[in-house]
Amino acid sequence: MRTIEWRDGKVITIDQMKLPHEEVFIEMKNCEEVAEAIKTMKIRGAPLIGAAAAYGLALTAYHSKANSREELLAELERCGEMLRRTRPTAVNLFWAVDRVLKKANNVEGDVGTIAEKVVEEANLIAEEDVEANRRMGKFGAQLIEDGDTILTHCNAGALATVDYGTALGVIRAAWEEGKKIRVIATETRPKLQGARLTVYELMRDGIPVTLITDNMVGYVMYKGLVSKVIVGADRIVRDAVINKIGTYTVAVLAHEHNIPFYVAAPTSTFDLDKTSSQVVIEERNSQEVTHVLSVQIAPDGVKVLNPAFDVTPLKYVSAIICEKGILKPKETNFELKLESLNLIDSQ
Q: Which CB sits closer to ligand MRU, 75 or 271?
A: 271
Question: Which of 96, 156, 195, 320 forms a contact with ligand MRU (CB under 6 A)?
Answer: 156
Q: Give how far Cα 164 sits from Cα of 44, 75, 146, 156, 241, Å.
A: 15, 33, 21, 9, 21
Closest CA to 241 of 284, 271, 221, 268: 271
Q: Based on the residue annotation, tell me whether 148 is a catalytic residue of this protein.
A: no
Minimum Å distance from CB 130 to ligand MRU?
A: 13
Find, among 101, 102, 121, 56, the residue nearest to 82 by Cα.
56
152 binds ligand MRU (CB under 6 A): no
Residue 117 vs 172, nearer CB to ligand MRU: 172
Q: Does 195 bind ligand MRU (CB under 6 A)?
A: no
Site for ligand MRU in 76-115 (CB under 6 A): 90
Quick one: 44 or 138, whose CB is closer to ligand MRU? 44
DSSP code of 197? I
Phi, psi angle pair for 287, to nearest 5°: -60, -25
150 binds ligand MRU (CB under 6 A): no
* Ordered DSSP codes for 66-122: -SSHHHHHHHHHHHHHHHHTT-SS-HHHHHHHHHHHHHHHH--S-HHHHHHHHHHHH
Verify binding: residue 263, ligand MRU, rule CB under 6 A: no
- Distance separating alpha carbons of residues 311 and 103, to the nearest angstrom: 32
Asked whether position 244 contacts ligand MRU by CB under 6 A, the answer is yes
Given 253, 308, 322, 327, the residue binding ligand MRU (CB under 6 A): 308
**Interaction of residue 243 with ligand MRU, rule CB under 6 A:** yes
3-class SS at 256?
helix
Span of 44-52, 179-187, 212-220, 329-337 interacting with ligand MRU by CB under 6 A: 44-52
Q: State the residues that interact with ligand MRU by CB under 6 A.
A: 44-47, 90, 154, 156, 160-161, 166, 193, 232-234, 243-244, 308
